């Protein structure tokens, strides 16, 4: 049996389910907002019993897992004291983390796609950049800066510079405002003039004059790649993920063998079983590595490349 853990609104997981149905493969799908009942015998191997909406299964019957960003939650009661609730919630969350982490520890020999929730395998963009460089991939000139005078020095040396988040972007909301998402922003002279002398540690990189962007989905020694012609649109000039109303041309792309070898080496170093990789192909014909996302989206790569990636994943899970 295949267990799928995903968000409730997840079109990619929906297509995996469709393929499993087509192949007559038994599965159960778990959403992060569902109440989960667990009975665990630590003295028995894979004897965990899990129930969701009165549908129960034993861990020993699971042949593979599919994870795509969905998180497991457990309902924690509340009292009349908000401060007490917050402290109880923090402590009980740590307890449930240990339990879920143990459960997935027991399934290490089971096939899985994606990164299980409650693991410590979250990637660090700075470590990934350093690892990519050690694997022979070109990366943009990069520096962490906290001072305006140092920023000005790099701006003069590199001419054009950009900044991006070191983590996964921002998600801040109040009753009046909401700021969410991640994007790449060019640091202009006007922006520098408005900055304080000392600021929060920030990742700054040389702006690479791109010919096009490349999104790669890597899975089971296969590369599914598309070229993204985002440089002709002012809104997506720095990053194709920036919001735009214009249609961006995307076509299948064949990577050079040497780039495939270096990316495969990096994937092995990072101990990933799949990943979405972003590259830049610059105006001088060089390939620059930007990042790899173990939770990266691959549905649009599958669609524009006509790759049927979801079918390949379903075949692996069955």
Same domain, 7 and 104: yes
Cβ of 277: how many Cβ atoms within 10 Å? 25
pLDDT band of residue 86 (cuts 50, 70, 90) is: confident
Q: What pLDDT is stored for residue 71 in this prediction?
A: 60
**Which of the listed residues 96, 113, 130 is the one where a domain comes to its end?**
113
Flag whether 257 is in a domain.
yes
Same domain, 191 and 214: no
We report the CATH number of the domain holding residue 300 as: 3.30.470.20
**Residue 187 pLDDT exceeds 60:** yes
DSSP of 65-91, one letter per residue? EEESS----------S-HHHHHHHHHH
Same domain, 234 and 217: yes
Same domain, 146 and 217: no
Same domain, 159 and 194: yes
Residue with more model confidence, 142 or 33: 142
Flag whether 29 is in a domain.
yes
Instruction: Judge whether 2 and 65 are in contact, CB under 8 Å.
Output: yes
Flag whether 122 is in a domain.
no
Q: What pLDDT is stored for residue 130 in this prediction?
A: 95
| Proportion of the chain above pLDDT 90, given as a percent | 46
Flag whether 118 is in a domain.
no
Of the candidates 27, 24, 1, the residue with the CA atom closest to the CA atom of residue 13: 27
Over residues 110-116, mean pLDDT: 77
**Which of the listed residues 206, 234, 256 is the one where a domain comes to its end?**
206
Q: Which domain holds residue 235?
A: 210-308
Of the candidates 168, 128, 126, the residue with the CA atom closest to the CA atom of residue 143: 126
Flag whether 68 is in a domain.
yes
Same domain, 12 and 89: yes
Flag whether 131 is in a domain.
no
Query: How many domains are contained in the chain?
Result: 3
pLDDT digits (tens, 9 = 90+) for 201-221: 999 999 999 999 999 999 988
**Residue 24 pLDDT exceeds 90:** yes
Flag whether 120 is in a domain.
no
Same domain, 188 and 232: no
Instruction: Judge whether 207 and 277 are in contact, CB under 8 Å.
Output: no
């Amino acid at each position: 049996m295949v267990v799928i853990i995903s968000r409730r609104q997840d079109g990619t997981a929906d297509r995996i389910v469709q393929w499993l149905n087509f192949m007559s493969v038994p599965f159960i799908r778990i959403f992060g907002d569902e109440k989960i009942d667990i009975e665990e015998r630590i003295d028995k191997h894979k004897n965990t019993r899990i129930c969701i909406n009165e549908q129960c299964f034993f861990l020993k019957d699971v042949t593979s897992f599919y994870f795509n960003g969905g998180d497991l939650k457990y309902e924690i009661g509340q009292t009349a004291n908000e401060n007490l609730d917050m402290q109880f919630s923090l402590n009980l969350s740590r307890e449930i983390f240990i339990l879920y982490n143990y459960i997935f520890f027991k399934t290490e020999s089971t096939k899985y796609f994606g990164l299980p929730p409650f693991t410590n395998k979250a990637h660090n963009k700075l470590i990934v950049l350093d690892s990519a460089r050690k694997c022979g991939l070109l990366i943009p000139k990069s520096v962490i800066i906290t001072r305006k005078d140092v920023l000005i020095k790099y701006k003069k040396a590199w001419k054009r510079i950009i900044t991006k988040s070191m983590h996964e972007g921002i998600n801040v909301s109040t009753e009046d405002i909401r700021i969410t998402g991640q994007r790449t922003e060019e640091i202009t002279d006007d922006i520098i003039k408005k900055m304080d002398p000392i600021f929060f540690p920030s990742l700054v990189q040389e702006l690479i004059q791109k010919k096009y962007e490349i999104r790669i989905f890597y899975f089971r020694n296969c590369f599914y790649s598309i070229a993204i012609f985002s440089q002709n649109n002012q809104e997506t000039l720095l990053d194709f993920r920036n919001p735009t109303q214009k249609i961006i041309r995307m076509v299948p792309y064949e990577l050079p063998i040497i780039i495939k070898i270096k990316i495969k080496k990096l994937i092995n170093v990072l101990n990933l079983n799949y990943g979405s990789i972003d590259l830049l192909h610059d105006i001088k014909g060089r390939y620059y590595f930007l990042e790899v996302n173990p939770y990266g989206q691959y549905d649009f790569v599958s669609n524009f490349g006509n790759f049927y990636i979801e079918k390949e994943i379903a075949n692996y899970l069955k």
